[in-house]
Amino acid sequence: MSPAGGAAALDVAITAKDHHRAGGPPLRALENLRLVLPMGAAGAVVGPSGCGKTTLLRLIAGLDRDFTGRITLPAHGRLGMAFQEPRLLPWRNIQDNVAIAAPEATSQEVAALLDELGLSEHATHFPGELSLGLARRAALARALAVKPDLLLLDEPLVSLDAALARELRDRIAALIDERRITTLIVTHDLGEAIALADKIFLLSPRPAHVLATLDVPAPRKLPRADAEALQAQALETLASARRSAQK
Ligand SMILES: Nc1ncnc2c1ncn2[C@@H]1O[C@H](COP(=O)(O)OP(=O)(O)OP(=O)(O)O)[C@@H](O)[C@H]1O
Residue 20 in contact with ligand 1 by CB distance below 6 A: no
The model's pLDDT over 102-142, given as tens digits with 9 standing for 90+, comes to 988 899 999 999 998 889 999 999 999 999 889 999 999 99
pTM of the shown model: 0.90
Closest by CA to 102, choosing from 140, 45, 131, is 140
Q: Is 3 inside a domain boundary?
A: no
Q: Is 83 inside a domain boundary?
A: no
Query: Do 115 and 212 have their domain in common?
Result: no
**Which residue from 17, 19, 20 has its CB within 8 A of the most atoms of ligand 1, so it is best to mutate?**
19
Which of these ranges, 3-7, 93-97, 134-138, 215-219, has the smallest mean pLDDT?
3-7
Query: Do 157 and 175 have their domain in common?
Result: yes
SS3 assignment, position 134: helix
- Find the 45 Cα to ligand 1 centroid distance in Å: 15
User: Residue 216 maps to which CATH number?
Assistant: 3.40.50.300
Whether the ipTM is more than 0.90: the answer is yes
The model's pLDDT over 136-178, given as tens digits with 9 standing for 90+, comes to 999 999 999 999 999 999 998 888 888 888 888 888 988 888 8
Q: Is 230 inside a domain boundary?
A: yes
- Find the 119 Cα to ligand 1 centroid distance in Å: 32
Note the pLDDT of residue 5.
Answer: 45
Query: Do 153 and 42 have their domain in common?
Result: yes
SS3 assignment, position 25: coil
- Rounded to the nearest 5 degrees, what angle is found at the Cα of 105, between the Cα atoms of 101 and 107? 105
Q: At what angle do helices 162-179 and 132-145 cross, to 10 degrees?
A: 10
Q: Of 15-19, 84-88, 185-189, 230-234, where does the model show the most confidence?
A: 15-19
Residue 38 in contact with ligand 1 by CB distance below 6 A: no
Note the pLDDT of residue 216.
Answer: 87
Whether residue 36 contacts residue 2, with contact meaning beta carbons closer than 8 Å, is answered with: yes
**Given a cut of 80, is residue 69 above it in pLDDT?**
yes
Burial profile 184-204: b = 16 or more Cβ within 10 angstroms, e = fewer: bbbbbbbebbbbbbbbbbbbb
Q: Is 1 inside a domain boundary?
A: no
Give the range of the structural domain holding residue 106, as residue numbers without chain letter: 88-147
Q: How many helices (H) and strands (E) does the chain have?
A: 7, 9
What are the phi and psi torsion angles at 15 (to 5°)? -75, -50
Tell me how long the chain is: 247
Pairing relation of β-strands 150-154 and 182-187? parallel
Query: Do 214 and 236 have their domain in common?
Result: yes
Burial profile 35-58: b = 16 or more Cβ within 10 angstroms, e = fewer: bbbbbbbbbbbbbeeebbbbbbbb
Atom of ligand 1 nearest to the CA of 155: 27
Residue whose CA lies nearest to ligand 1 atom number 23: 50
CA–CA gap between residue 122 and residue 161 (Å, rounded): 20
Query: Do 65 and 129 have their domain in common?
Result: no
The model's pLDDT over 182-220, given as tens digits with 9 standing for 90+, comes to 999 999 888 899 989 999 999 999 999 999 999 988 777
Note the pLDDT of residue 6.
Answer: 57
Query: Do 175 and 234 have their domain in common?
Result: yes
Mean pLDDT of the chain: 89
Domain end call among 112, 127, 147: 147
The number of domains in the chain is: 2
Query: Do 196 and 117 have their domain in common?
Result: no
- Find the 65 Cα to ligand 1 centroid distance in Å: 16
- Find the 208 Cα to ligand 1 centroid distance in Å: 11
Q: Is 212 inside a domain boundary?
A: yes
Residue whose CA lies nearest to ligand 1 atom number 20: 50
Q: Is 207 inside a domain boundary?
A: yes
Query: Do 177 and 101 have their domain in common?
Result: no
CA–CA gap between residue 231 and residue 226 (Å, rounded): 8
Atom of ligand 1 nearest to the CA of 84: 27
Pairing relation of β-strands 27-38 and 199-203? unpaired
- Percentage above 70 pLDDT, the chain: 96
